């Protein structure tokens, strides 16, 4: 986290991350970030591995309208 604080859900675990803190999310782990405060959240995401594309993301829920209707 660079700025602000994030509520992180990683599997069944829920915790807060503040500035200068980080977490590791293993491949396939269901996860979510939420900004519980009023300060803008700024973070750096670092991916590692042999494939770093975005097309392997599975969105289970999306309040920002990025999940496509399964009927499409």
pLDDT for 61 equals 76
Query: What is the reported pLDDT for 58?
Result: 79
pLDDT of residue 40: 94
Q: pTM for the complete prediction? A: 0.75
List the pLDDT tens digit at each of the 72 positions of the chain. Answer: 999 999 999 999 999 999 999 999 998 899 999 999 999 999 999 988 888 887 777 777 777 777 665 544
Tell me, what's the pLDDT at 14?
Answer: 97
Residue ranges per domain, the chain?
A: 1-72
Contacts (Cβ under 8 Å, ≥6 apart) of 56: none
**C-alpha distances in Å from residue 47, one per residue of 15, 36, 41, 44:** 21, 24, 19, 10
């Amino acid at each position: 986290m660079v700025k602000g604080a994030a509520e992180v859900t990683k599997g069944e675990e829920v915790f807060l991350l503040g500035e200068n803190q980080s977490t590791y999310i293993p491949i396939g782990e269901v996860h979510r970030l939420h900004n519980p405060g009023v300060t803008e959240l700024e973070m750096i995401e670092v991916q590692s591995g042999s494939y770093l594309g975005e097309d392997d993301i599975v969105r289970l829920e999306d309040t920002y309208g990025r999940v496509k209707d399964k009927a499409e």
